[in-house]
């Protein structure tokens, strides 16, 4: 079926960047292999923007796939620049929406160009680096950015604006961090396989998280050997991308409830990952956590450990069916390479031991 088995010493070096979908036969292929356990299928699940694809990209990267090569990252220039433009557009739109004027006249000019005519290829011109950065530093834009919980904005905004001098150049080659940081909304389902030793293969399945995408998950539920459920710690002040009147935490809890109590997963090891720990710690320093959770002790709201403990309880309370001893809870910062590697290693170990026990 043209699956790409990923190993660090792939000679082709060209076409293995992303795995081809093996999903045209989700039930047939791995049902047989599930018996002899030479292939372990791990699902990355979670609501939209919980970091599934970021973790997916990290796993690809530390298995030496794809974005380790310069010429493959070059192909992603467009996507990085598209992110820059979308961020800029969203911020400019937010100033209109929130009625915050952009203060400097020349920045208003830039904003107009961004909305009307700017394309990713224009960013080859280094002069855009200064113009976009000046726009970013505009008091109006900064004020909108401070209120970013009121509209949809990517987590990568600040990072990308701070790196404009590299991005706006005709010699730009995205770094690994750039690629990890860029947001691309995953549509549908993708997967990849790689060797994990002992003649075993791990098949990691990445999915889209928005409501309409979740309907497609069911295709994979039968063949699964472990579930990694991601939820974002920093979403406590945000609403959904697909439904702006709906609190993200509520949605995450709901999805978690549906997944963890699904009869198909009773016997499957389950990992709950609290992602975006880095962002979360920054956020609670300036924002009130207890404002969103009435049951939380206000005095503890600047203590990340207490907050995470509270969130953990909130999620574990949702578990009514799944045996608790096969559930593992961890925190993660998926944009951090070392942390991802360590957490993923732990997850892998947990899944393997659970399977041994069986």
Partner 1 sequence: MPILSATCLVLYIILVVICAIGVIKKRKSGHLQSRTISGIVVTLTGSFIYVSVTLLRFTVGRSRFPCMIFSIVSYSIPPCFAMPSILRCLRLVFQHRFNLIKTNTLSSSYCMQQEQQNTESLFIQAKQNSNNSNNNSISTSNRNVNSSVMTSVVETFENNQVIAREENTTREKFIIKAHSILTNNTASLIVFWLSIGVQLFLWFVLMVVEDSFFQNEHYFMDGALLISLGKGCGLGFPSTLFVVGISICYFIVEFIAIGLCFTVDNDTWHIKREVFLLVATQILTAVIFTFLSVASVVEIVDYFVPSGFVVAAYSTFELVLTILIPIIRAIHADSKEKRECDSEIEMIISNKETFQIFLDYLRKSFCPENLLCYADIEKYKRETALRQRKKIAHRMVKKYLYEDSPFQLNLPSDLYSVKTVIMDNISFADNQNALTDDLFADIQLHVLSNLVDSYSRLKFSNKTIQKVSNDWNAKQKRLSPRSPMISLSSMTSLKL
Interface with partner 1 by CB under 8 A: which residues? 2, 4, 15-21, 23-24, 66, 72, 75-76, 78-79, 82, 85-86, 89, 92-94, 96-97, 115-122, 151-152, 184-190, 208, 210-213, 215-216, 219, 240-245
Which of 22, 49, 182, 203 is labelled catalytic?
49
Of the two residues 194 and 280, which places its CB atom closer to partner 1 in the complex? Answer: 194
Whether 210 is a known active-site residue: answer yes
DSSP annotation of 148: G
In the complex, minimum distance from the CB of residue 247 to partner 1, in angstroms, rounded to a whole number: 13
CB 211 within 8 A of CB 242: yes
Whether 165 has a binding-site annotation, put simply, is: no
In the sheet that holds 270-275, the strands lie side by side as 5-6, 189-197, 200-207, 39-45, 226-232, 270-275, 327-331
Give the list of residues 6+ apart from residue 106 with CB closer than 8 angstroms, or none.
131, 134
Q: For partner 1, which is the closer residue by CB, 37 or 173?
A: 173
Residue 294 annotated as binding site: no
The answer to the question of whether 52 is labelled as a binding residue is yes
Least distance in Å: CB of 115 to partner 1?
6
Contacts of 52 (CB under 8 A, 6+ apart): 44, 45, 46, 186, 206, 207, 209, 230
How far, CA to CA in Å, does 93 sit from each of 5, 114, 164, 306?
44, 10, 20, 36
328 is in an annotated binding site: no
Q: Out of 206, 235, 237, 301, which one is annotated catalytic?
A: 206
Residue (4 or 45) nearer to partner 1, CB: 4
Residue 54 appears among annotated catalytic residues: yes
* In the complex, least distance from residue 276 CB atom to partner 1, rounded to whole angstroms: 20
Q: How far is the CB of 90 from partner 1 (least distance, A)?
A: 8
- Is 206 a residue of the active site? yes
Strand 200-207 to strand 226-232: parallel, antiparallel, or no bridges (unpaired)?
A: unpaired
Residue 227: exposure state from Cβ atoms within 10 A (0-12, 13-18, ≥19):
buried
Please report the sign of the dihedral spanned by the C-alpha atoms of residue 18, residue 24, residue 27, residue 31. Answer: negative
- Please confirm, yes or no, whether 78 is among the known catalytic residues: no
Q: How far is the CB of 36 from partner 1 (least distance, A)?
A: 25
The answer to whether the annotation marks 225 as part of a ligand binding site is: no
C-beta closer to partner 1: residue 211 or 341: 211
207 annotated to bind ligand: yes
Q: Does the annotation count 183 as an active-site position?
A: yes
For residue 204, the cross-strand partners are: 42, 192
Residues designated as active site: 49, 54, 183, 206, 210
Binding-site residues for Mg(2+), in ranges, read 53, 186
Binding-site residues for GTP, in ranges, read 49-54, 155-156, 206-210, 275-278, 334
């Amino acid at each position: 079926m043209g699956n790409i088995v990923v190993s660090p010493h792939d000679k082709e070096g060209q076409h293995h960047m992303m795995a081809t979908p093996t999903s045209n036969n989700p039930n047939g292929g791995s049902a047989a292999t599930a018996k002899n356990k030479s292939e372990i299928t791990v699902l990355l699940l979670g609501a939209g923007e919980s970091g599934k694809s970021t973790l997916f990209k990290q796993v690809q990267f530390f298995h030496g796939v794809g974005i380790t090569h310069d010429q493959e990252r070059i192909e992603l220039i467009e996507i990085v620049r598209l992110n820059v433009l979308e961020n800029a557009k969203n911020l400019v739109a937010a100033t209109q929406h929130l009625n915050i004027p952009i203060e400097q006249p020349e920045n208003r000019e830039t904003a107009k160009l961004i909305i009307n005519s700017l394309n990713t290829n224009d960013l080859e011109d280094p002069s855009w680096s200064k113009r976009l950065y000046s726009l970013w530093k505009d008091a109006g834009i900064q004020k909108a950015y401070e209120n970013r919980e009121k509209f949809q904005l990517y987590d990568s905004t600040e990072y990308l604006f701070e790196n404009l001098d590299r991005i706006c150049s005709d010699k730009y080659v995205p770094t690994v961090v750039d690629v990890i940081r860029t947001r691309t909304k995953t549509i549908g389902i993708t997967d990849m396989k790689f060797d994990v030793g002992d003649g075993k293969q791990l098949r990691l399945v990445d999915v889209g998280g928005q409501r309409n995408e979740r309907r497609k998950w069911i295709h994979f539920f039968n063949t699964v050997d472990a579930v990694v459920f991601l939820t974002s710690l920093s979403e406590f002040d945000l609403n959904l991308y697909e439904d702006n009147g709906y609190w993200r935490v509520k949605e995450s809890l709901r999805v978690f409830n549906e997944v963890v109590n699904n009869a198909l997963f009773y016997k499957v090891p389950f990992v709950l990952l609290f992602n975006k720990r880095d962002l979360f710690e920054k956020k609670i320093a300036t924002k009130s956590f207890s404002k969103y959770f009435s049951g939380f002790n206000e005095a503890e709201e600047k203590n990340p450990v207490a907050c995470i403990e509270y969130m953990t309880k909130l999620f574990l309370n949702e578990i009514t069916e799944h045996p608790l001893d096969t559930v593992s809870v961890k925190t993660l910062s998926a944009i951090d390479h070392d942390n991802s590697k360590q957490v993923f290693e732990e997850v892998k170990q947990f899944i393997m031991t659970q399977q041994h026990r069986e």
